[in-house]
Amino acid sequence: MVFTYNFAPIANYYYQSQQSSTGAIVSGNATTTMTGPNLTILSGVSGNDDTGVAFPVNFDFFFFGTNYGDNLNSGIYWNTNQVIGFGPASGTIGWVANTGRGVLIGNADRRTNTFYYTPTITSSGYSYMSCFLYGQNIYNDSVPNAVQLQFRIMRGPSYQYIEVRCRLAPLTAGAYNITNGIAFQNTYGGFSNMVTNQSFVLQSDLNGNNWTFFNNSFVNIS
């Protein structure tokens, strides 16, 4: 997989200054070519509206104490309204805290045009996979591929990560939050919307607790 890095700062966004003791998270904005090895289309969400479909995460990945990797506990899924969900899949448009367990990444009434994922990649003691989203800013605006994002779901020796790289940002702001299925965690602070060529990282401990937001950062593992 080929990545390029742009270290220009992005102003006016909340930034979590705490850094990972592993040194895996570094400051700077990592861009993406939206390419990866052996890509598979997640057909259940591609071209569809208001749905959620699981994709295979073939390594342990915990979220608030439950392992959803290895396809356990109904697995990890993509909601076409820009949520990474955990457990039984939901197609809900506007998430509230008890919709289900999930990571909201600009949640709004959007549409997925195509969603790709890679097999598991291992590097330097880390296991991860990449997902690539091509989507519409609003479900009925008839402008395909206006949103382009890469997600890396990663588990390392000491931490887990969800890294997001933005090639084309949504024009319409959405909701950014993490919910344990009961309460929003407000992990993103005052963050309100991505911009093109920005990246950020969400980090947890190995049990999927204590999520922390690192804006304008990326995980330095390839």
Query: pLDDT band for position 9 (50/70/90)?
Result: very low
Q: Give the model confidence (pLDDT) of 167-201 as tens digits.
A: 999 999 999 999 999 999 999 999 989 999 999 99
Question: Quick check: 138 and 148 in contact, CB under 8 A?
Answer: no
Q: How many Cα neighbours within 13 Å face the side chain of 180?
A: 16
Domain that holds residue 13: 3-219
Q: How far is CA 159 from CA 128, 179, 181, 211, in A?
A: 12, 19, 22, 10
DSSP state string for 154-181 = EE-SS-EEEEEEEEE--SS--EEEEEES
Query: pLDDT band for position 88 (50/70/90)?
Result: very high
pLDDT at 217: 97
pLDDT at 116: 98
CA distance 221 to 152: 10
Q: Which residue has the higher pLDDT, 104 or 7?
A: 104
Tokens 């880390």 -> residue:
126
Question: Quick check: 55 and 79 in contact, CB under 8 A?
Answer: no
Prediction pTM value: 0.90
Q: Give the model confidence (pLDDT) of 114-157 as tens digits.
A: 999 999 999 999 999 999 999 999 999 999 999 999 999 999 99
pLDDT at 23: 66
| Mean pLDDT over each residue of the chain, to the nearest integer | 91
Domains of the chain: total: 1
pLDDT at 2: 37
pLDDT at 86 over 50: yes
Question: Quick check: 1 and 31 in contact, CB under 8 A?
Answer: no
Question: Quick check: 211 and 187 in contact, CB under 8 A?
Answer: yes
